[in-house]
Structure 1
Amino acid sequence: MAKLTKYEKETIILFDEGEDKASIYTYNAGLRNRLAAFSKKYPDLCRLEKSCDQGGVSYVLDKSRLSIRLQPPMSEERRRKASEYAKQNGFNAKADND
């Protein structure tokens, strides 16, 4: 079995206005972990439908539990403050490479 490229590792979210369920198919490791934890904690709201040999998973969940959040870009002032906070609190991993 051939290894999938990053372009082939999709995340697909499907739902329609007539149903109360949503389907999420993903290869994204972070999302897979979040869905697994959510389905374990709330099995009546989210369940694993299938998993693929190449690492993809498909979950069905209550559509009311799904949220898509769009975040505006950070202003330069906010970016500067976040950078200062990170440096003061030990989140300066990039400085090791500079």
Structure 2
Amino acid sequence: MSRLTKIEQETVINFNAGEEEAVVYTRDKAVIRKLDSLVTEFPEAYRCIKATDIDKTYSMPKQYVSYRKPRRITQERRDQIRTQMENINNSRK
């Protein structure tokens, strides 16, 4: 695989109301690894439909594309998590 800049490592998801499948085109190695593992684990749902040395194109049911609300954490909970992580990191020293 050629060396791509961060800007060139794009992922494009394309689907419309008239079709049941979504098409994912990506040049991002992390996304390729994730989708390749899904293709291996769930070949009935995820398919690699085209591959070159720098990109891959996948097909999947469009219902598998999801939108999520951002997680809301109170400042109190952030402080708790920060303290826990500090304790974990200090115990490793």
AA aligned to 2:58 is: Y
Q: Please give the secondary structure, in 2, of the residue aligned with 1:69.
A: coil
Alignment TM-score, normalising by the size of structure 1: 0.73
Partner residue, 1:68:
67
AA aligned to 1:49 is: I
> Residue by residue, what CA displacement relative to the aligned partner does 1:59-91 show, whole Å, maximum 9, x if unpaired?
100112221224146443332222222233449
Structure 1: runs of 5 or more not aligned:
93-98
Q: Please give the secondary structure, in 1, of the residue aligned with 2:38.
A: helix
AA aligned to 2:66 is: S
Aligned length: 91
Partners of 2:9 and 2:28 within 8 A in 1? yes
Once structures 1 and 2 are overlaid, which stretch shifts more, 80-89 or 3-12?
A: 80-89
Q: What is the alpha-carbon distance in structure 2 between the residues aligned to residue 70 and residue 91 of structure 1?
A: 33
Percent identity of equivalent pairs: 28
Partner residue, 2:21:
21
Structure 2: runs of 5 or more not aligned:
none
Give the superposed CA RMSD: 2.6
Alignment TM-score, normalising by the size of structure 2: 0.76
Partners of 2:13 and 2:25 within 8 A in 1? yes
Q: Please give the secondary structure, in 2, of the residue aligned with 1:77.
A: helix
